[in-house]
Chain A
Amino acid sequence: MIGTGLVLSGFQFLLTQVAAFLMRTEAFGVLPNLVPDFIRSMAGPSMLAFMSFEGIVALGYFHPIVIAAHLGLAMAIATEPAAEVETRFADLTLARPLARRQVITRTVVVLLVAEAAVLCMMTMATWSGLACCTPADAARPTPAVIGSLAITLGAVTVCWGGVALAVSSAVRRRATASGATAIAALAAYLLDYLGRVWDPARDVSKLSPFHYFEPMSLLSGAPLNRRNITVLLAVGLLGTTASYIAFSRRDL
């Protein structure tokens, strides 16, 4: 967790420096013209929002690799119940007066604390980067935008953490839980991508949790979409509830 947090924080800090560099070299005026028209029309106004000082600074909150890192962290934590069953450590703990639900509760608490800590480190890195070495006249993202991006990223992480926890509570091997969740996340990400670029897939893409992950709209100035956050957290909650039920009923 600390390693992931440090790497992502370093990335956030460096992005502020990249944004400052692009601004000093006046590249923001040129970049949109380098993008082919069809891509610009497909991406919509968010493309312009991205190709700005604010957009580059915020990139670390929605770049696919960053999302994958968060999901990887969530899966590593959420699959701990399966790992403890696999290694038989659960035999030692659950042979004591410890309720099975406590194993799930512990995992949820660790997941939430770890995600909050990583997001905290990332936002601190962003703000320290902006504060120390960026041009004074740069159009910096407001605290509300950075906060909303962090909340959105946190919500999508919690969502997939819940899914991983549900799978982990029903299987005997960590690799099975991680693999199944990773494949589901990849499929959902691609489904959402298809829905964004291909009209016939738009309706189906609403089944993907990533459909409710819209950082670009935040960059364009839209307020935090509470409905999206609610959907993501509801999926996470559903997964958590399923994991309580599955883990309490299963044979270990």
Chain B
Amino acid sequence: MKDVSFDVQPGEVFGFLGLNGAGKTTTIRILLDLVRPTSGRASVFDVDCQTRGLDVRARLGYLPGELGYYGDMTGAATLELLGRLARQRVEPAWRQSLLDRLEFAAADLRRPMRDYSTGMKRKLGIVQAFQSDPPLLVLDEPTEGLDPLMQDAFYELLTESRRRGRTVFMSSHVLPEVERVCDRLGLLRGGELVLMSPVQEVRSLAGRRVRVTFGEDVAPPATWPPACEIVEVTPRLWDLRVHGALGSIVTLLATRPVVDLDVQMPHLEEVLKRYYADRPVS
């Protein structure tokens, strides 16, 4: 990691992105004082993560990317043990509501962890991270191994946490997930932070996709508006990417025999893939 410096605002969901090996998990482990940086410092709530690590960790819940449990312990005993290690008291009603949302039956909790599937372990991991209702949640690849229904349940939980003023710092490489739940994102590449911006702004970098179908053959204009990027142009179809306002393209189309106009909002993926490939979007 080098020159990685960022802030996460209280009450926001911050997505931390990057390809495998970019340094997402290492950054998280530095925040948790599981890994010590060779230089620089990290702080959470203005408290140094290394010198006052206990105070930092007393105020956060953590879901690791790779979960390790004692196979002989039951799910209930695991939650109880991890709950006791937290400084905040775990409210039984809150824990139960988490278990209910993630469809954990009481019988499941009585089973030893070695009998749990990958998805079950992940769900228990989510419960243990949220159960003490900490002000900050640090989640490493939170939906890895969850089925689509449980992913939805998790996203609802995140939305509710944000509504209740909790801050969420999550790493992910699932771009639609980041697009759906995050307010801002930071993108790591090769241990360096190459992008940090609100999700909406990042999406707008890609420009909207505009596909125009004509009823008869039309000639392309001699000059295209500057905000237009041509993807494909044929006599009866223009496929364009338009950055910014659509006014110039609407003016261009006003005198032409338009049959259909399809405007697609850009996906985060389109921008981020360029960053991953070391081709930043201007």
A residues at B contact (CB < 8 Å): 84, 86-99, 249, 251-252
Contact = CB atoms under 8 A, between A and B. Distances in A.
Given A96-B82, A97-B85, A97-B87, A91 B34 contact: yes
Nearest to A250: B36
B154 interface: no
Contacts of B138: 95
B29 A252 contact: yes
B58 A252 contact: no
B86 interface: yes
B14 interface: no
A92 B35 contact: no
A218 B32 CA distance: 52
B36 A251 contact: yes
A95 B64 contact: yes
Interface string B48-72: 0000001101101010101111100
Contact of B66 (A88, A96, A98): A88
| Interface size band for B | 20 to 34
A97 B29 CA distance: 14
Given A91-B32, A97-B87, 4 more contacts: A89-B68, A96-B87, A97-B54, A251-B29
- Nearest first, the 4 closest Cβ-Cβ pairs linking A and B are A88-B68, A87-B68, A95-B62, A97-B58
B27 interface: no
A88 B34 contact: no
Contacts of A93: 82, 85
B90 to A, nearest CB: 12
B128 interface: yes
B69 A89 contact: yes
Contacts of B64: 88, 91-92, 95
B70 A94 contact: no
A88 B68 CA distance: 5
Contacts of B70: 89
Nearest to A92: B82
